[in-house]
């Protein structure tokens, strides 16, 4: 795609999203809100799975950490829910660092298994009301509505701007991150760990950093989820949630931000369009995963490699 | 002491089931270096096929208990083995030359697909094995009362493990499997048809997994379409515990994990039962990733 066409497409998408709540009913806006949350989670997983190539299938655990941190702080200490954003991000990130530190050197599919295990342990801990603060299988209810400059955010269209505003901010930051030294280092170690190490990249550090940052972002998405639902329970953070997120990243194209957005629309939005077939949703997912790996393993909108413009030879320099 | 022995024998029965499933993981891993995520669901198919055949054919009424269950077990093994071979052709063979992630994602997709096919056929609710077919007898062993099914499961699983071990170690085909696991290219040069070895592994592994599913159905009496996931994860833990790719390791790992889990559930906390296996998994990967008897799994750079 030509760069100009790309910017045109992105601009049209932003304009369309900005006015979407004016034309859609509350239910449709609510679906868009779910898509926004999954897009956020997908983008945060993309940092770990897509950019750094670390197979993480326990992402729901970090999401849950953020949501529960926000819910506990809000219901017990009456801290306004949006103020808990940085703290829930920090808790999820710190948890991810602690968990990933001993296992991050494991070979791809073993890391996958360990992260599945971590996700399950967190879910079981939540169900068993660990430390007596998670509310057991019923979860936590009565989370206060968020307030922005004195306005209480309550209706789906108000949440729409909160969630998609956060998505826009995330996309901007992650695009910058991708082009930075940090992003390039992650890509390098994904492509060839030995070569990256040989070029002086501290692979363990960068892997951990990717884990921590991705998890922190998932934690903040969890806070928005808690604010939107006002009730959270362990079943929202099951293994299948992690599978769906994994799928969003793989389907869209690992490392591709546009791909993750597209996949979030497809994976979350399409089942809403075909509600009568909702029982077969996971069946189709499974089939798509199998077929995609044969037909188009790089994803729908694969990430392009880094490109650097070269201004040509400097004037006055003989070639 | 009484309770300890009850838990120990229960753990051995469950461990035998884990070991049978773990053998499928470990054999596939040994030859293809692939974690067959759909293996747990083949196990579930064993349980559901067993239920359907048991109720529709009334085998135990016609042939009596012992012969009926034996015929049933053979039928389940055959059918699940065929399913395993189809799975290999459809989901894994096209990806033989692809990067590892592709095969892993395809395996996950196959797992989700198989699981939801079962749900659409049988419904999401628990299915119950008819309890009037099975003798509820208990055996008196040195003053301990053990349910007959428990004893049968331990005996049957040990018998199958020994048979598999002899098959792998003593026969020519078993030698071919071991050769393909060590070095596929060298095996091919020695005139071994590696594709047939892989096909064979995908027949034997799922057959053992299927019979484990039938055992769970007969032992616990109720089955669910998602149970393959939990059993699969635990069996995989068992395979890692023993050292993945290592056949005796999977047997030892399975029995050990079953006993640890049963004792943990009895003496630590029943609510955390499922977490015990995952903790064992994480610990073993951190402390000794080669497993008790196995090869190295972590890359050292």
CB contact under 8 A, A250 and B105: yes
CB contact under 8 A, A282 and B301: no
CA closest to B34 among chain A residues = A109
Q: Domain boundaries in chain A?
A: 27-238
CA closest to B90 among chain A residues = A290
Task: Between B119 and A307, name the one with better pLDDT.
Answer: B119
- Interatomic CA distance for residues A169 and B184, integer angstroms: 50
B273 domain residue, yes or no:
no
- Interatomic CA distance for residues A74 and A79, integer angstroms: 5
- Interatomic CA distance for residues B90 and B93, integer angstroms: 7
Instruction: Look at residues A169, A179, A181 and name the one whose alpha carbon lies nearest to residue A304.
Output: A179
Q: Is the pLDDT of residue A154 over 80?
A: no
- Contact residues on chain A for B297, CB-CB shorter than 8 A: 106-107, 110
Cβ-based contacts under 8 A for chains A and B: 124
B244 domain residue, yes or no:
no
Q: How far is CA B187 from CA B30, B96, B191, in A?
A: 14, 17, 7
Q: Which two tokens stand for residue A295?
A: 């037909």
CB contact under 8 A, A193 and B281: no
Residues β-bridged to residue A231: A141
Chain A: closest CA distance from residue B107 (Å): 7
pLDDT of residue B70: 86
Instruction: Tell whether A98 is within 8 A of chain B (Cβ).
Output: no
Cβ–Cβ < 8 Å for A110, B285 = yes
Instruction: Look at residues B116, B105, B111 and name the one whose alpha carbon lies nearest to residue B34.
Output: B105
CB contact under 8 A, A102 and B117: no
pLDDT of residue B85: 92
What does pLDDT average to over chain A? 84
Percent of chain A with pLDDT over 70: 95
- pTM to 2 decimal places: 0.85
Instruction: Tell whether B221 is within 8 A of chain A (Cβ).
Output: no
Give the pLDDT band of residue A318 (cuts 50, 70, 90): low
Instruction: Look at residues A69, A4, A94 and name the one whose alpha carbon lies nearest to residue A226.
Output: A69
Cβ–Cβ < 8 Å for A289, B109 = yes
Percent of chain B with pLDDT over 70: 95
Give the pLDDT band of residue B299 (cuts 50, 70, 90): very low
CB contact under 8 A, B275 and A103: no
pLDDT digits (tens, 9 = 90+) for B153-184: 888 889 998 999 999 889 999 999 988 888 88
pLDDT of residue A315: 65
pLDDT of residue B200: 92
Q: Which two tokens stand for residue A188?
A: 């390098």
Residues 242..261 of A with a Cβ closer than 8 Å to B: which? 243, 246, 250
- Going by C-beta distance under 8 Å and a sequence separation of 6 or more, which residues neighbour residue A55? A49, A108, A109, A111, A112, A115, B101, B104
Q: Is the pLDDT of residue B41 over 90?
A: yes
- Going by C-beta distance under 8 Å and a sequence separation of 6 or more, which residues neighbour residue A28? none
CB contact under 8 A, B116 and A121: no
Tell me how many domains chain B contains.
1
Give the pLDDT band of residue B298 (cuts 50, 70, 90): very low
Instruction: Tell whether B103 is within 8 A of chain A (Cβ).
Output: yes
ipTM of this predicted structure: 0.81
CA closest to B232 among chain A residues = A113
Chain A: closest CA distance from residue B188 (Å): 25
- The residue-averaged pLDDT of A290-299 equals 84
Chain A: closest CA distance from residue B67 (Å): 37
Instruction: Tell whether A87 is within 8 A of chain B (Cβ).
Output: no
- Contact residues on chain B for A54, CB-CB shorter than 8 A: none
- Give the distance from CA A228 to its chain's centroid: 17
- Contact residues on chain B for A280, CB-CB shorter than 8 A: 116, 120
pLDDT digits (tens, 9 = 90+) for A92-106: 999 999 988 888 887
Instruction: Tell whether B113 is within 8 A of chain A (Cβ).
Output: yes
- The residue-averaged pLDDT of A279-298 equals 83
B86 domain residue, yes or no:
yes
Nearest to B94 among A128, A246, A294 (CB): A294
DSSP state of A230: S
pLDDT of residue B288: 79
Count of CB atoms within 10 A of residue A177's CB? 15
- Contact residues on chain B for A108, CB-CB shorter than 8 A: 100-101, 104
Cα Rg, chain A, nearest whole Å: 20
pLDDT of residue B258: 92
pLDDT of residue B301: 37
β-pairing, A140-141 with A231-232? antiparallel
Give the pLDDT band of residue A2 (cuts 50, 70, 90): low
Residues 242..281 of B with a Cβ closer than 8 Å to A: which? 271-272, 274-275, 278-279, 281
Give the pLDDT band of residue B300 (cuts 50, 70, 90): very low
pLDDT of residue B294: 65
CA closest to B95 among chain A residues = A294
Domain ranges, residue B80: 13-227
If DSSP states are collapsed to H, E and C, what string results for B239-280? Answer: HHHHCCCCHHHHHHHHHHHHHHHHHHHHHCCCCCHHHHHHHH
CB contact under 8 A, B285 and A110: yes
């Amino acid at each position: 795609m030509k760069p100009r066409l790309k910017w045109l497409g992105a601009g049209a998408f932003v304009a369309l999203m900005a006015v979407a709540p004016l034309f859609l009913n509350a239910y449709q806006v609510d679906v868009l809100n779910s898509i926004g949350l999954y897009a956020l989670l997908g983008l945060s997983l993309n940092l770990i799975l897509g950019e750094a190539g670390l197979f993480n299938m326990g992402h729901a655990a970090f999401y849950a950490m953020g949501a529960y941190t926000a819910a506990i702080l809000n219901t017990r200490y009456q801290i306004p829910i949006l103020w808990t954003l940085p703290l829930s991000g920090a808790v999820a990130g710190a948890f991810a660092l602690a968990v990933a530190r001993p296992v991050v050197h494991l070979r791809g599919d073993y890391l996958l298994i360990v992260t599945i295990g971590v996700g399950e342990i967190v879910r079981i801990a939540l169900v068993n009301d660990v430390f007596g603060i998670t509310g057991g299988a019923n979860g936590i209810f009565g989370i206060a509505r968020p307030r922005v400059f004195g306005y209480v955010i309550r209706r789906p269209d108000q949440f729409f701007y909160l969630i998609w505003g956060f998505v826009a901010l995330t996309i901007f930051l992650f695009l910058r991150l991708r082009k930075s030294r940090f992003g390039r280092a992650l890509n390098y170690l994904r492509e060839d760990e030995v070569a990256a190490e040989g070029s002086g990249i501290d692979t363990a550090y960068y892997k951990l950093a990717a884990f921590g940052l991705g998890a922190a972002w998932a934690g903040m998405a969890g806070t928005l989820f808690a604010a939107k639902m006002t009730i959270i329970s362990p079943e929202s953070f099951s293994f299948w949630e992690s599978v769906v997120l994994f799928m969003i990243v793989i389907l869209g194209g690992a490392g591709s931000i546009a791909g993750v957005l597209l996949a979030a629309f497809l994976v979350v939005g399409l089942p809403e369009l075909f509600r009568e077939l909702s029982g077969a949703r996971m069946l189709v997912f499974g089939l798509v995963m199998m077929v995609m790996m044969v037909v188009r393993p790089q994803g729908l909108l694969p990430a392009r490699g880094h490109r650097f413009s070269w201004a040509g030879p400097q004037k006055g320099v003989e070639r | 002491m009484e309770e300890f022995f009850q838990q120990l024998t229960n753990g051995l029965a469950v461990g035998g089931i884990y070991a049978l499933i773990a053998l499928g993981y470990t054999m596939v891993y040994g030859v293809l270096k692939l974690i067959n995520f759909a293996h747990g669901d083949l196990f579930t198919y064993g349980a559901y096929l067993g239920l359907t055949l048991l109720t529709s054919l009334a085998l135990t009424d016609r042939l009596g208990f012992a012969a009926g269950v034996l015929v049933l077990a053979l039928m389940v093994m055959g059918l699940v083995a065929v399913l395993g071979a189809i799975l290999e052709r459809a989901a894994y063979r096209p990806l033989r030359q692809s990067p590892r992630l592709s095969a892993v994602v395809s395996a996950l997709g196959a797992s989700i697909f198989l699981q939801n096919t079962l749900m659409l056929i049988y419904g999401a609710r628990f299915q119950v094995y008819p309890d009037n077919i099975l003798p509820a007898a208990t055996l008196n062993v040195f003053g301990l009362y053990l349910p007959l099914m428990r004893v049968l499961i331990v005996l049957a699983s040990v018998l199958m493990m020994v048979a598999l071990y002899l098959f792998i170690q003593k026969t020519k085909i078993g030698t071919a499997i071991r050769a393909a696991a060590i070095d596929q290219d060298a095996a091919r040069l020695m005139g071994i048809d590696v594709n047939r070895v892989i096909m064979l592994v995908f027949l034997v592994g799922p057959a053992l997994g299927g019979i484990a599913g039938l055992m769970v159905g007969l032992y616990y009496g109720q089955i669910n379409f998602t149970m393959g996931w939990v059993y699969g994860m635990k069996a995989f833990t068992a395979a890692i515990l023993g050292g993945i790719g290592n056949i005796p390791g999977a047997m030892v790992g399975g029995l050990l994990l079953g006993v640890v889990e049963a004792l943990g559930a009895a003496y630590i906390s029943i609510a955390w039962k499922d977490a015990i296996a995952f903790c064992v998994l994480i610990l073993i990967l951190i402390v000794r990733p080669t497993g008790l008897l196995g090869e190295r799994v972590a890359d050292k750079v």
